[in-house]
Chain A
């Protein structure tokens, strides 16, 4: 079983709508969470990272983290068709050079 679980597997939202993606780690040794976006045929690009409890906002993107439950969520407001991509959650410990463990991803489709 994957140590990083993402839900839903796929999500369709209308243009201008809110997309909410979830991620939970079952490894209690993780300290950092990452959200990557991968467009079809492209390499993953980091969207946001969060290390502390609470919320972090950058433009249309907001991430939440609850370290007690090792749950993070990514919310995209005013979704655009260009946001259609595979969204990957990853978790790591805070050791230098620590590997990131990725979840299975959420495939987001934004319908015009």
Chain B
């Protein structure tokens, strides 16, 4: 069973609505990643954090997505104004070394 906990498992939003998902990384893992897996199973890296600080993020994440990993609280990824193309599985992963451990994901459907 995955020790990276993601909520909710499913999220349904209308276009233009905010969509927020959360992730509790595995205990002791300082690095957290967010990936988007589309219906073609393609992975897109969105953002990663190390101890609450952003390491890398892509342009899309800077503009419409906001993410944070506060200490002592779940990490979160929020889409400010959902678009149909945002429908995907959002996977959170954490790592202590090089290996990533994934959560079950949040499946977002934007109607």
Contact = CB atoms under 8 A, between A and B. Distances in A.
Interface of A: 2, 32, 34, 38, 42-46, 49, 86, 88, 90, 92, 94, 96-97, 99-102, 104-105
B105 A97 contact: no
- For the complex of A and B, the 9 pairs showing the least CB-CB separation, nearest first, are A102-B43, A43-B102, A97-B31, A97-B50, A99-B45, A43-B104, A105-B41, A97-B55, A44-B102
Contacts of A45: 102
Contact count band on B: 20 to 34
A105 B100 CA distance: 17
A92 B98 contact: yes
Contacts of A49: 98-99
Given A99-B56, A100-B100, A43 B42 contact: no
Contacts of A102: 35, 42-43
14 contacts: A32-B98, A34-B99, A42-B104, A43-B2, A43-B104, A43-B105, A44-B102, A45-B102, A86-B41, A94-B98, A97-B30, A97-B31, A97-B48, A97-B55
Interface of B: 2, 30-31, 33, 35, 40-43, 45, 48, 50, 55-56, 91, 95, 98-105
Where chain B touches its partner, the secondary structure class is strand
B50 A44 contact: no
A70 to B, nearest CB: 17
Given A2-B42, A102-B43, 11 more contacts: A38-B41, A42-B104, A44-B91, A49-B98, A97-B50, A99-B33, A99-B48, A99-B56, A100-B45, A102-B42, A104-B42
A62 B70 CA distance: 40
A49 to B, nearest CB: 7
Contacts of B98: 32, 49, 92, 94
